[in-house]
Amino acid sequence: MKFEIVIIAAAKSDLREIFHYVELNDSFERADMLVDGVERAIAALAEMPQRGHYPPELDRIGNREFREIHFKPYRIIYSIRENEVIIHCVLDGRRDMQTLLQQRLLR
């Protein structure tokens, strides 16, 4: 069964911010390649979304609603509902993930 990928507005904003940051600090080409790679990783979830693992910061507090895959150093956080994979955020894994995840997912 193929799942539909739904990218919520906050995750789209994350991708735009990543693109702009890399473009400003490196190059347009590098930013384009990076975001394209993240988007390919997201698209691959349509075939096998269960392959992601539970983010350890959420698993420690008993939350198994969300899963994640990596496109280093970025962490793609998503949930699975019926035949949909909902992308909630794309975050730089080098940041304080505990705080970011609490602010973004556990409101």
- pLDDT, tens digit, for every residue of 60-100? 889 999 999 999 999 999 999 999 999 999 999 888 888 87
Count of the separate structural domains present in the chain:
1
Q: Which amino acid is at 34?
A: L
To which H or E segment does residue 77 belong? strand 74-81
Half-sphere exposure of 86 (CA within 13 A, CB side): 11
In whole numbers, what is the pLDDT of the chain averaged over residues?
Answer: 94
Structure-token pair, residue 81:
């509902």
CATH code where residue 90 lies: 3.30.2310.20
Q: What is the pLDDT of residue 98?
A: 81
C-alpha–C-alpha distance, residues 31 and 83, integer Å: 31
C-alpha–C-alpha distance, residues 28 and 50, integer Å: 33
User: What range defines the domain where residue 95 resides?
Assistant: 4-105
